Structures are given as C-alpha cells and as structure tokens.
Amino acid sequence: MLAKMIFNLGQRLRNPSIASWLSFLEESDRWSIEQLEGHQLQQLRELLDFAYSSTAFYKEQFDAHAIEPSDIKTLEDISKLPTITRKDLVRFNDAIHADAKFKKTFRAATSGSTGDALVFRRDERADSFNRAAIFRGYSWFGIQPWERNGYFWGFDFNFKKKIRTKVLDALQNRFRIFNYEEKAFKQFAKKLEKASYIHGYSSAVYHTAKLINEKGLGKGIQLKMVKGTSEKIYESYQDEVKKAFGVKMISEYGATESGIVAFECPEGNMHINMEGVLVEEVEGEIIITNLQMKSFPLIRYKLGDHVTLASKDKECPCGRAHHIIEEITGRVGLDVYGIEKIYPSFTFYYIFKNLGNHHQLKLTYQVVQPAKGKLDFYVEETLSEREQMLVDQEIEKYFGNDMQTTLTHDHTSSQQKKKKKSFISYI
C-alpha cells in the first residue's frame, strides 16, 4: 500500500482539511433532500454574511439593490440578488477577493472560452472540499483516490514543467500520455492494464479508445471508471470507449471558478454536488453559487452553459437524493447567423440528438460558421448516401432556406492540443 501512503502524505501537506471533508461527504451522500437543502440554506446565509462584510464588491452590489444578507430567508430568495458574469470576475477581481485572512490559498487560473484570463485565490478549505467531492464521485465506482490512473491532458511542456508534472503525477499514482507515437502509445496502453481508471479531455479519451481498438491492444484492459471532463461527451464516443475500456464514459461537470457542479452516478444521472454549489436554472441558463469558497466568493454566477434541470421529483435508482441535471445543451452567447434570422448554438445539440434518437445515427460532429448564412458541418464517421440525406434533412428542419450548408463526413480532426469545440464561429 505504498501508493496509499504516498498519496495520503501528499494530500496532508497540500490539503490538510481533506480528510474531514471526505468523511462529511460520505455521510451527506445518503442525506434526504430536506437535509441537503437545509444544509444549503445554512451555508448560503453564512456565505452572504461573509461576502457582505469582507468584500467591497458584494457590499456595494447588495447596497445598490437595497438588500441585506438577512433578507435571504429561503433558498428561493436568492433570486433577489443580482447575477454576475465572468467579465465581472475579471474586471472587479480585486474587489471580489475577500479581505479576510486565510491560512493558505492556492493560485487558480483559467483562460476560459473567450480567452480573457481569470486569476484568483482559492482558500485551502474550498480547494480541499472540491477534491473531496471528486473523490466521493470516484467512490461511487468503487475507486480509492490513490489507485493507479491514466490522465489525458496537454502534452507539450518545457523541461522544468515536465519534471514538476512527473513529481505531481507520482504523488497521485498517475501516468499520462505525452504523445501518440507508436512506441509511446503501446507503452501507455500497457500501463492501462494495471490502472483502475482514466480521466481527462473527452475527445482525447475517445481517440485513445479508437486507437486501442484499431490496434487490438484492449484485451488486458478493464477499468472501473472512465471520466470525461472539459468537453462535450458525444454519444458516438460510447461504443468505442466501452469496447476499449469495458465501461462507458461518465461525465464530471464544473469549472475552475465554480468548483465541481455535478458528477454522473453509475445509473447515468448527473447529480448536483449540492453540498458545494447552489444551482439555479434561469431561462435555460445555469447559475451557480459556490457555497464553499470564501477567498473569492461566487454568488449567482452565470457559468455560461445552457442546461435543463430534471424535475425535483425525479428519483434515481442509485438512491441519492441530490438533484439531477438532465442535459447540458451548449454554451451561452454563441449565436448562429442565418441569412435573415439568428439561432442559438444549442440548435446543433438538438439536430444531432434527433439523429441519434430517431435514426440511431450517433455522430461526432463539429460545426463551423465561416460567414453569415453559411455553415460547414464536419462529421468523423463515414456516412452512406442515405445517412448523409438524413443529416441534411435534419439540418434543413431547423434552418430551412435561411442557411447554406456543406456536409463533410469521414473527417479526421487534427491532433489537438486545444479543447475541442462543437461549434466554432468566425463572425
């Protein structure tokens, strides 16, 4: 159990409060919805008091709206507060940071989809809570955090970064793929035979699965969990992933600034991490309040995704009472321009969902808008004449004559170091 010792030592140094969070989350995993919401309300009120007294930004915001923290008496009352966006986090960065003293904070940075970098300090308790919440998700699949795992993330590092990465990986019993060249890839596949789980960019996990199947390297591989993050998990990924790794890809949903928002359970439902975040759906858009982070409070933050929450009575066979996110349909604010009309980017989500549901056509797609009234559809799979017609028909249903479109199938996307996006607009 050397791996466990090394892991625990590393965690204790970096995240001293993680053990207490883990035992808390193990207990609250079985709470009723009343207990969960009761806890949320208590956390929320604490957060609002703190943000009001310790940050210049929220003091000003609440005052401007003539609201005091004590006006928030129920979870629903939160809608009285204004929402904030990523732009606010960048622009009012100093004023949002709490002036309270924290024993330990970590520097967190994220470039986001728009490219404007956001940097903030995350206090150790919030950081440890977030890690513990992820580890709780792992426990649903019978995984202990120190078990051997493969990691799919960026692979062009300078030498110094590479050494640091290797040390951090060793502490977490983690290995990663650095490139897809024949020899390195075979070694990586060999290592997977001894791993319990893999995680990372969904598209990288999928392409690895495909390559493993092509080369017939999957015989000795049986994982407990395959977790995709950061990118859309296409239905079309699942057959290859199951064939290569023995299980389907599950999803972890969240962002650097929000913390983990939801984790998919073995029954395939995305349970909201209710102990850590308060989630609202307003006009189809997700709004997050991070209930744990004090160093940089996030209250009613527009994360930028279109979502549908499941009805609150939806029960999951896994027995957890935590609410469920039904679907994440795309990014907010990415409009698609027709010749005359404007369409939301989640239109693509529905086009391809219909093709999967009605025609068993599960496709890995990317849509590019080079100019107004023009769309180029790229599909990785090879399509028959009939299937191409079905795709064209489905596209036409949504855009009619308002769009000139092309469809390219059998399209291999180039090896990416960047996040794969399902929609790219050059307008």
Please report, as ranges, the residues that interact with Zn ion according to CB under 5 A.
Answer: 265, 267, 269, 316, 318, 320
Tell me the CA distances in angstroms from 378 to 176, 368, 371, 382, 412, one per residue in order.
Answer: 29, 8, 16, 11, 9
Q: How far is the CB of 30 from Zn ion (least distance, A)?
A: 12
Choice between 27 and 315, CB closer to Zn ion: 315
Token pair recorded at residue 404: 């000139």
Task: Give Cβ neighbours of residue 114 (< 8 Å, ≥ 6 apart).
Answer: 86
Token pair recorded at residue 196: 């319990």
Q: How far is the CB of 324 from Zn ion (least distance, A)?
A: 7
Tell me the CA distances in angstroms from 383 to 186, 232, 409, 422, one per residue in order.
Answer: 30, 22, 6, 19
Choice between 69 and 137, CB closer to Zn ion: 137
Choice between 56 and 247, CB closer to Zn ion: 247
266, amino acid identity: P
Q: What size, in residues, is the chain?
A: 427
Choice between 168 and 318, CB closer to Zn ion: 318
Task: Give Cβ neighbours of residue 136 (< 8 Å, ≥ 6 apart).
Answer: 22, 25, 26, 29, 263
Choice between 267 and 410, CB closer to Zn ion: 267
Q: How far is the CB of 140 from Zn ion (least distance, A)?
A: 8
Task: Give Cβ neighbours of residue 271 (< 8 Å, ≥ 6 apart).
Answer: 262, 263, 264, 265, 316, 320, 322, 323, 324
Distance (Å, whole) CA 156 – CA 244: 25
End-to-end CA distance of the chain: 55
Q: How far is the CB of 320 from Zn ion (least distance, A)?
A: 5
Choice between 239 and 267, CB closer to Zn ion: 267
Q: How far is the CB of 250 from Zn ion (least distance, A)?
A: 11
Choice between 84 and 270, CB closer to Zn ion: 270
Q: How far is the CB of 135 from Zn ion (least distance, A)?
A: 17
Q: How far is the CB of 262 from Zn ion (least distance, A)?
A: 11
E-state strands within 180-248 = 197-201, 225-229
Token pair recorded at residue 37: 């919401």
